[in-house]
Amino acid sequence: MTVRPLKPNDRLPEFVLVAGRSAAQEAAAMREGLEEFSTAPQPGCPQLSDWAAWPQADDPQSQSRRDLLAMTHRQAHLILVNAFDAVTSLGRLLGGDGAMPVFSHMTESRVACEAAVRFAWMIDPVVTSEERVMRGAVGLLVSAEEQLKGLRRVPAGRFPREVLQRMIDNCSLESHRVEQLIAAAGIRPARSRDQQKIARLELDSPRVSVPVKLDVTEKMAELLPDVPSFYNIGSGVVHSHYWMLRDVVADKGASPELAVEPDLMQIGAATVASIHASKLIIDRCARYYGHDASAHLSRSAQRLEAVDQRMRVLGMIKAAGWPAHQAS
């Protein structure tokens, strides 16, 4: 559902247009930064060190770790694409076609934040090459398990039995191949106390242990310290909690109809959170490839300030009890 101005000559609130431009510019900056950094890795950077850790050789274990490293990069790039897509979509949602959304901006923001945290965790420039491939292995393992779990929950009769079984067999084979690759790399799965599932991956030399479950909410507080409250607001929308949804109800007096209008503070929160997510990705990309991201981050900070400044004005206007459109 989107909301458009009621009169042909009316414009959307300036706040919405600024937020939309800021998100679109930030998405473009994210893409440009990755292209700039990844095409010119600097000597001694973590990316080159990762590949140097296991040079091409006849050693099967080294080759397996190189394969895992390649899959780690593939996952990270796709996670980045997911974040880019979400921030780009946010820019389009916020006035791109002359309308503004009621709730979906919060969903896109949440996707961007979660993707940024996962990306930053996987491409952490300070971890060892061994831990990086283990984090990539965790991603592959969880992906295979979730895919298989989803197929097993397909209702009976949705597909012919033999077709569904073939799909399950293919997913099981993929899961088995992931486990084989992990084992060939010298990584050992450690099971939970009840032996029902894999709890972590371990390596003996050097000694490394990586939990299989990534607590995104906990990582959010660590990696995006300015975002958790906005992230929780987005969670309220994703899970359709009343405390969050009711903010868009417009008071129309005695009208029996439910009239809604976008909450401008929510739009600001979604934009600010998405820009912070982009900054995290840009920073990690730059450091992983050995670059200085300060110029890029400075421009991101300017976009943040453009939205933040208007959010502060909007907050004062709402506190005074005036109509929110006066924030424009």
At 140-159, the pLDDT tens digits run 999 988 888 888 888 877 88
- Kindly tell me if the per-residue pLDDT of 228 is higher than 70: no
When comparing pLDDT for 3 and 11, which is higher?
11
Give the pLDDT score at 293. 96
Range of the domain at 318: 2-327
Name the pairing type of β-strands 100-101 and 188-191.
unpaired
Q: How far is CA 257 from CA 7, 105, 156, 254, 260, in A?
A: 20, 24, 41, 9, 10
- Cβ atoms < 10 Å from Cβ of 4: 12
If you average pLDDT over residues 302-318, what whole number do you get? 87
Give the pLDDT score at 9. 63
3-state secondary structure of 225: coil
- Kindly tell me if the per-residue pLDDT of 232 is higher than 80: no
Question: How many domains does the chain contain in total?
Answer: 1
User: Residue 140 carries which DSSP code?
Assistant: H
pLDDT tens-digit profile of 270-307? 999 999 999 999 999 999 999 999 999 999 999 999 99
- As a whole number of angstroms, the distance between CA 242 and CA 90 comes to 23
Closest CA relative to residue 274, chosen from 25, 95, 36, 100: 25
3-state secondary structure of 194: coil
State percent of the chain over pLDDT 90. 54
When comparing pLDDT for 317 and 204, which is higher?
204
DSSP string, 30-85: HHHHHHHHHTSPPTT-HHHHHHHHS-S-S-HHHHHHHHHHHHHHHHHHHHHHHHHH
- As a whole number of angstroms, the distance between CA 69 and CA 130 comes to 9
pLDDT tens-digit profile of 43-89? 999 999 999 999 876 789 999 999 999 999 999 999 999 999 999 99
Q: How far is CA 207 from CA 23, 124, 181, 187, in A?
A: 42, 18, 19, 11
Give the pLDDT score at 197. 84
- As a whole number of angstroms, the distance between CA 101 and CA 88 comes to 14
- Kindly tell me if the per-residue pLDDT of 195 is higher than 90: no
State percent of the chain over pLDDT 70. 89
- Kindly tell me if the per-residue pLDDT of 326 is higher than 60: no
- As a whole number of angstroms, the distance between CA 226 and CA 238 comes to 20
Confirm if 284 and 235 have CB atoms less than 8 A apart.
no
Phi, psi of 325 (to 5 degrees): -65, -15
Confirm if 133 and 68 have CB atoms less than 8 A apart.
yes
Residues comprising the chain, all counted: 328
Token representation of residue 183? 């084992």
Confirm if 94 and 27 have CB atoms less than 8 A apart.
no
Start-to-end CA span in the chain (Å): 22
When comparing pLDDT for 165 and 47, which is higher?
47
Q: How far is CA 320 from CA 251, 309, 310, 316, in A?
A: 17, 17, 15, 6
- As a whole number of angstroms, the distance between CA 245 and CA 154 comes to 31
Give the pLDDT score at 322. 56
User: What is the number of alpha carbons within 13 Å of residue 126 lying toward its C-beta?
Assistant: 3
Which pTM does this prediction carry? 0.88
Q: What are residue 210's DSSP bridge partners?
A: 201
